[in-house]
Amino acid sequence: MGHVAGSTFGPASAYFYSIAKRKLACDSAGMTHLTFVFTDPPITSYNIRLNSTNDQVMTDDVVSVVVVGAGAAGLTGAIATAETLAKDGNSGRVLLLDGAKQIGAKILVSGGGRCNVTHKSITPKDFFGNRNIIRNVLAAFSIERTIAWFTSLGVDLKCESTGKLFPVTDDARTVVTALLARARHAGVIIRPGHRVIEILASRAGFLVRHSHGATQTSRVMLATGGQSLPRTGSDGFGYRLARDLGHRVTPRVPALVPLVLERSMFHATLSGLSHDVELTTLVDGREVDRRIGSLLWTHFGISGPVVMDASRFWTLATNRGAQVDLYGNFVPGRTSEELKEWFVAQATEHPRRSLTRILSMLAPDRFAESLCHHCWCDPQELVAQVARRDRERVLSTLTRFRFPIERDRGWNCAEVTAGGVPLEEINYRTMESKLLSGLYLIGEMLDCDGRIGGFNFQWAWTTGWLAGQSAARSLLAEKVPPHSV
């Protein structure tokens, strides 16, 4: 056990200390700096600031667990670790580092500011990724347990008709405030504005280098999120940290993202209109996804739940250079053959009605009118006079409309990331890395993305909770001495 400058170092730090060459120096402000220079592995030096009066180490120099990233997964992971350690009468230090100045920024903007915490029914089919592993992970933290956990945090949830669960306050701030309060109560040391730059692993533990210094720890939990909405702090740097620690990272693309249509399309005139559509995605001519839901026309193209859910298939396939086609049936469940019969019957019954009037029995009239123009038909033409060729073109466009997609709207408008650290490299019982013991990976940085409806948060709470429990238990089992402040 090493003893440096009045601060007790655990086995991990003793190891780092023993292999480092040390150099003490005083800066112009009178602060003493203790510099470690490592030769095994050959890395750069790092600096610990010492208080010149009592020689106490001032940074969070040695802790039991460092959680990198204080989003939904990291906060849950830190709370679960600290509470599990405390339950056993131990007081291991849990340090939660986040590069962003504001903790929980993504939770605050989620669900339109209301935070869709979870969903009343969660199955592996609601997620994309290795579903066998996802099934096992999800089973560890059921919906009932999630709801009870939130209740214990003081956040009561309500279920809406869509099956989505929100805080009864309809305010995402309730969730962030409760998580932060619980973390602080559990003794988690929270450090916003601390960006992790590098993590070095050795036989004795980890050295986490961040923007304010360095911390030695026995366990590291990586919860750096994906690349969606980078201004909240999740800019993808966490993937580099994972890669440097030996993990693979599959290609990442924006998911749950709106799609931009070619300018020549009529979308802008329909901006704000939403209606149901059956969306089918074909990759290199093969159907990979089909779903029904609400589509929202916008000034740039298309959005709404059904488009957001389908977008991952478009972004993933486009990213690997495949041919992707997205078709919409605006009369879900009906074929153009079925509609032909219906149309002829309508034309016989109401010959003096306009083409749009007839079509607006199937879809919103604004859309019906745009569709007629798109098919070079006069929307006001009497239905009895519409040429057979025109009628067939309109009906086949109505039921098999090819969206001319130019691009997705990018990371700033994406809600999640598809791709990431492969689930196969994680022990699903613990969320510990199979490649590096003591390292845990949780949340959106893993190669798993859920559909819209609270599923992505459920993944974050579940993986965080699982990793927190496991990290604490593994520390207790090893009887690593709790690191005192």
Ligand X SMILES: Cc1cc2nc3c(=O)[nH]c(=O)nc-3n(C[C@H](O)[C@H](O)[C@H](O)COP(=O)(O)OP(=O)(O)OC[C@H]3O[C@@H](n4cnc5c(N)ncnc54)[C@H](O)[C@@H]3O)c2cc1C
Residues that bind ligand X (CB under 6 A): 68-74, 97-100, 106, 109-111, 115-116, 195-196, 223-225, 228-229, 233-234, 237-238, 415-416, 443-444, 454-457, 460
The helix, strand and coil proportions of the chain, stated in percent and rounded to the nearest 5, come to 35, 25, 35
Nearest to 117 by CA among 80, 78, 154, 156: 156
Q: Which is nearer to ligand X, 298 or 356 (CB)?
A: 298
Cα–Cα distance measured from residue 108 to residue 377, given in angstroms and rounded to the nearest whole number: 47
**At its nearest, how many Å lie between ligand X and the CB of residue 449?**
8
Record the tokens describing residue 226, joined without a space: 């994906």
What span, in angstroms and rounded, lies between the C-alpha atoms of 223 and 454? 18
CA 107 to chain centre: 10
* Structure tokens, 100: 């962003």
DSSP per-residue string spanning 309-323: HHHHHHHHHHHTT--
Q: Contact at 8 Å (CB) between 74 and 143?
A: no
Least distance between ligand X and beta carbon 476 (Å):
25
The minimum distance between CB 292 and ligand X, in angstroms, equals: 21
Q: Which among 157, 148, 179 has a CA at the least distance from the CA of 70?
A: 179
C-beta closer to ligand X: residue 72 or 133: 72
Smallest CA-to-CA distance from 467 within 219, 257, 152 is with: 219
Amino acid at 350: H
- Are 82 and 73 spatial neighbours (Cβ–Cβ below 8 Å)? no
CB of 317 to ligand X, least distance (A): 22
Task: Supply 472's token pair.
Answer: 């604490």
74 vs 124, which CB is nearer to ligand X? 74
Q: Name the residue nearer to ligand X (CB basis): 208 or 265.
A: 208
Q: Which residues pair with 311 in a beta bridge?
A: none
Tokens representing 145 are 């347990």
CB of 45 to ligand X, least distance (A): 21
Which residues lie closer than 8 Å to 5 by C-beta, 6 or more apart?
Answer: 34, 50, 55, 56, 57
Of 363 and 436, which CB lies nearer to ligand X in the complex structure?
A: 436
How far is C-alpha 24 from the chain's CA centre? 43
Q: How far is the CB of 143 from ligand X (least distance, A)?
A: 13
Q: Which is nearer to ligand X, 379 or 453 (CB)?
A: 453
Closer to ligand X by CB, 233 or 304: give it.
Answer: 233
Nearer to ligand X, 179 or 347 (CB): 179
Provide the minimum distance between the beta carbon of 332 and ligand X in the complex, in angstroms, as a whole number: 25
User: CB 236 → ligand X: shortest distance, Å?
Assistant: 8
CB of 29 to ligand X, least distance (A): 26
Give min distance, CB of 456 to ligand X, in A.
3
> Smaller CB distance to ligand X: residue 228 or 336?
228
Q: Read off φ and ψ for residue 421, nearest 5 degrees.
A: -75, 125
Residue 186 is classified by DSSP as T
Pick from 198, 210, 206, 245: nearest CA to 12: 206
Closer CB to ligand X, 375 or 416, in the complex: 416
